[in-house]
Copies of this chain bind each other. A is one copy, B any other.
């Protein structure tokens, strides 16, 4: 596929690398600032522009990979004729692209992407489009990039985005709170790394509901009480501990 990438941030950078690695051609990078746009274009042996008036009109696929809040305004600056235009957001309707092309859709990567990643991670994709043929086209394009591809309309994609926020942003915040607690109490957070790894790894072998351990599920009240007392000087953590204990026991 011949691809135009609109955006130069984390998602644009990693998706572009993934597509390049799969043998696709990045023909043009479109960005706001010349320096970062040129840098990506150079890596991908692509042209670049900072004004959409110079948009390459010959590509097969146009990808808007910018901040959610900017998608609509970026799309408003584009006019494509019979060209497939997609965005990459979990929580934005595909309909925001409607005025920019008669073929539009979504290519949503269910992964936490950072431009600085050295190794490309596995990236499941959810695809969607207004035309049945483009859903199939995007599905097969995504299948060339990933072993996990699903089709999901706006609402279904939003639901998976919520679930993704829970298992990634909230989990990472739990790690952050635990690290801050360890720092405050002169304990070594790195001692917890293998445990964290283990809890994530074992999802491959079965449902998390069958793997729940700890004082809450055992209804081990003496331990729960000791833990809550210890957290008395960390109000937010005590609240969190009480909430999770109750929720696990429900």
Contacts and interface: CB of A to CB of B under 8 A. Distances in A.
Interface of A: 68-69, 91, 110-112, 114, 121-124, 126, 148, 150, 152, 156, 158-182, 185-204, 207-209, 211-217, 220, 222-223, 226-227, 230-231, 236-237, 239-241, 243-244, 247-248, 250
Contacts of A162: 181, 227, 230-231, 241
A195 B176 contact: no
Complex copy number for this chain: 2
Q: Classify the interface of chain A: helix, strand, loop or mixed.
A: helix
Contacts of A176: 207-209, 212
Contacts of A188: 150, 160
A213 to B, nearest CB: 6
A168 B196 CA distance: 6
A169 B111 contact: no
B195 A110 contact: yes
B175 A208 contact: yes
A2 to B, nearest CB: 28
A160 to B, nearest CB: 5
